[in-house]
Structure formats: structure tokens, C-alpha cells
Chains A and B, each alone.
Chain A
């Protein structure tokens, strides 16, 4: 009986496992292997040498931008969700979820219009006479512009995930804190945040990974000169140089960064 049941589950699992292996692991392994091969197919570390020589700065730039955007998103997201959890505001909650339904490219474009040298933001600031439009500073075409656009786009996901985590903290804990005189910010920082730390860590890793791998936003807002985010490098390596080996190596580096972030967060959470 037991045997039969096991056989049944096995038969049931095999096709699923097969699909997972073929669709997810095979391409991944294939590209990872590709990063260790030269154009003629020999095993080599040349691709990594090239990445180290040309792209070290870009990798650091990418990590910097992702970290900075994540910091913005978490800072705003945690305070906002704390407010929403403690007081509740359906309208604000809805407004912050809108970016969820806006595609990356549209965000990129909107941000470009908004942040450009003669864009909306600068026009507004010039109106109050803070800057001179003849020689305008620009947030677009800079790391700050990319970070802000990424933060804007990820905000909705952050609100969804953080608010979900905060809502799973039982009301009596907040009441206990309120009874002692804790306001919304203290309830958030002292109770909600530590009690949903593990969910927040997972959410952070998710957002960090998606920021590392962002492509359309840096493509549309990033400057043409200077450092680039790695996915842009991957794109150029493939479309203009046909260099799959180096592109794969960049991919593996991104993967290691993402899993590094995951391991770091899981460590800090499980240590508590």
C-alpha cells in the first residue's frame, strides 16, 4: 500500500521535476559553463579576466545603486507601512500600489521626462528660483536618477511585502506598546520591524536581486558615459561584440552577488 502510494507520488513528481530541470537549471548551467569557455570551446578563465579588467567598476557601481535604492525603498517603505499598519489608510495604500502595474520601460520614460535637465522637476524648482535653467543640474543620466527610478518602481512591491509582514503581527502586541505610550514610529521600529524581520529580509533580497538585474531603467535614465549597470554591459557584450563568454561571466558574477545578499540576510536573521 505504502509502496504504491510512493510510486504514485514519484510518477507524479517526475514530469514536474523534468520541466524544472530542463527549463530552469539547464539554461542556467549552460550559461555558467559558457562563462568558462573560450570562443573555440576550450576551458579558460579569460572571460573572468576580461570582466575583472573592464567591468570591476561597473559591478561596484551596480551594487552601489542597488544598495542605495534598496535603502531608500526600505526607509520609506517601513515608515509608510508602519503608518498604514497602525492607522490604516486605504487610499494611500492604493496609491502606493500603482507602480506595481506600470511597466519598467514606462517608469524609465516617465522618470526621464520628470528628471531631465529641462524636465518637470527642474522647471518647478526653477520657478521658485533655486536653480538657473541656463545651466541646469540633472538627476537623469546619473546614478542618482537610476536609483530614484528603481526606488519608485520597487516601492509598490515593497509596500505589498512589508505591509503583508506587518499585518501578520497580532494587534495585541501593538496595543501593549500603545498602552505604554509608544506612538506609530516606535510601534513600527520596536515591535513591527523586529517581529517581521525574517519576512523583510526575504523581501529585501527579492528587491535587491531585481535591482541588480534591472535593465530598461538604467538603459533609459543612465548616462551614456562612465560606469554602467552590469545588465547593460551584458547586453552590449552580446549584441555588439557577440561575446557570449564574457556576458555569461558577468551573469555568473551577478548571480553570486544576489546569492551573497541572500546568504548575508539569512545569516543575520537566523542569528537572532
Chain B
């Protein structure tokens, strides 16, 4: 993508004995929506707070544009933060909350009023000026918090799980709204969430964090279909893991022996040799399922439906093949009552992803 706007270089942050953020390096592209995604306690908030200037890193450098901002106080970094609990001042009206930052900046009153009005209008909050935060719905509070940040015209917008206090339905509509706002302003945005669906839906780039480290950084598609890491594959969506040993290697195709069956898949440009052990991942929606034996498919497995679940827009099957169980998502819900008992699974070679490979000579996992 374009030039980096926010750059973290070997950032580390410790709290006593806990290493909250461990040697993180990350380039956030200008104008992008970049998400820090990971389970609770992986260091997302700490990373965001170091960018905002609420924590000093113990090691490493933070750049915003050309400027190294490690020692720059929070309000001189041109960042604006939206907090998880919003932190709207309860004793101020909506208008006063949004105006507060500009007032501190010493802007003349008419100018403050004009900017606040424009921002409230932009976020469809007109008419709520005089309300107190506790007189607003969760979604409105969230928008006021966003307005309070946007009115400052920040260079970088920082959001810490801003949707987590909203109910599921509202969350989906607000996230669409927020994506539109961000796209229209082309504002560099760093977003923290532990919700993988949210991350996939909203982001230009996702940094998956695990135990203080960034374990995968890429587009939503890359993170989902090319996770390159067992943790990432498992955390982002549902996945079938398969272990095998390579029996055939050619530029067009790799063949692995998986519990006595051969599985053919695409080489992805990896330098592998016969005899190497591989860990493969296959998404449930990438597997076909049928009652009749398919013809001409590269990989066919024969198994028994153990459990099936009707999930509305899809049907999820657990299929026993020999000693292992495969999860398969069938997008056509009308198959629900039809598929049972003996079934055939088909897997296209392009849908198999190599997570990790183990060289047979060196006894070392190379990822």
C-alpha cells in the first residue's frame, strides 16, 4: 500500500514481570484502517496507548509521519482516542463534551461552535446538543465519543474496542457506518478489537497479536486464508488442521501423505522437499460435501456425518474420516435434511494452506 503513517519499531512494554508488548514492529499505511486483533491480554490496548502517549515504551521507537514521538506528550501527537467506555464527561452536555478539546486549544467561541455543529451534523447527532451523556442510547454515546475525537481533526484516530458496549445488531450497523466515515475522511485509523468478524469486515490491514507479539500482519484475506501460523488460523475463524509428510514435490503440485491418504495441494512458492513434515489448514467453507462420489476431483475423502447443525445461512457438518473429524460448511441450507450418513468430501488443491513445515534434516520447525 502507500507510505507508512504510523511506524512502530521494536516496541517493548513491561509491567513488572509481565511483558505486555514484546518487540512489536508495525507499519500503518497512511489513510488505512488498521486493526490490532487478538485475544484478551495480548497487548492490543497497551500498544494503542503507547501510540496515544499514555504509556512510554520501555524500548523501541514510535514514529508518526517523519516525527519520532516517544517523548512527545499525548496532546502534541495529533492523535485522538476513543475509549472503550467512551469516557464522556458526565457533567457536560453533548455540545460541551465535543467542544472541550477545542476550548482547551484556545479556539475562539464562534469557531468552536461552528466546528462542533458541523461534526454533530456529520455524525447525525443534531438536536442532541443539550442532552447529558446519560440521556443518550449506547449507539448515540458511541457517536458522541467519535465526534469528540473527530472534531479535533486528528492525523491519526485511535479506537479501543469502541463497539464492545453495543448489542450485537447495533454493532453490525455501527461498524458499517464507521467504515464509511473512515473511508470518506481517509483518516489513518488504528482499531483495537478481539472480535475477528469485526476485524475482517472493517480493516484494510490486520495485525494479529498473541502474547505481546504481532504474529501475522496482512490484509483480511491474507490473514484469513494464509494465516502462516497455527494460532492465527485458529483464532481467526474455524479451521481444519492436518498434519502430513511430503511424498511428492513439483513446481505445480505438492502431495502429502496424511494418515495413509494422499492430499494434493498448491506449492505457494515454498521451498519444500520430499520427506518434510507439514501442517496444513483448510477452511470449512473450502470443502465440498456430497452424497454421490464426485468425479475428476483432485482430493476426495470418504466419511460419515457425525453431527450437523443448521446455522441459518449455512449448514455445518462434522464428518468422521478414519480417526479424524473434519468441519465442513455447506453454503446451501436446503441440504440440511438431505445430507447424512456416508458422504464424500472434496478439497481443491488451491484451498489447502501450508501453515508450517518441518525440515527432515534439521529437526527444527521453520515457519
Contacts and interface: CB of A to CB of B under 8 A. Distances in A.
Interface in B44-63: 52-54
Sorting the interface of chain B by its residue count into under 10, 10 to 19, 20 to 34 or 35 or more gives 20 to 34
Q: Which one of B87, B90, B105, B152 has the greatest number of beta carbons of chain A within 10 Å?
A: B87
A88 interface: no
Contacts of A272: 91
Contact of B81 (A175, A186, A195): A175
B75 interface: yes
Interface in A195-217: 195, 197
Interface stretch (A114-122, A132-140, A176-184): A176-184
A172 interface: yes
Interface in A242-272: 272
Contacts of B101: 179-181
Contacts of B159: none
Contacts of A186: 104
A178 B75 contact: yes
B80 A179 contact: yes
Contacts of B104: 177, 180-182, 186
A191 B92 CA distance: 10
Contacts of B344: none
B196 interface: no
B95 to A, nearest CB: 15
B74 interface: yes
Contacts of A172: 83, 85, 87
Given A194-B91, A195-B91, A180 B85 contact: no
A197 B90 CA distance: 12
B100 interface: yes
A236 interface: no
Contacts of A190: 89, 100
A180 B91 contact: no
A195 B75 contact: no
Nearest to B82: A176
A178 B89 contact: no
A179 B91 contact: no
25 contacts: A172-B87, A173-B87, A173-B89, A175-B54, A176-B81, A176-B83, A176-B89, A176-B148, A177-B100, A177-B104, A178-B54, A178-B74, A179-B53, A179-B54, A180-B100, A180-B101, A180-B105, A181-B75, A181-B104, A181-B105, A190-B100, A194-B91, A195-B89, A195-B90, A195-B91
Interface of A: 170, 172-173, 175-182, 186, 190-191, 194-195, 197, 272
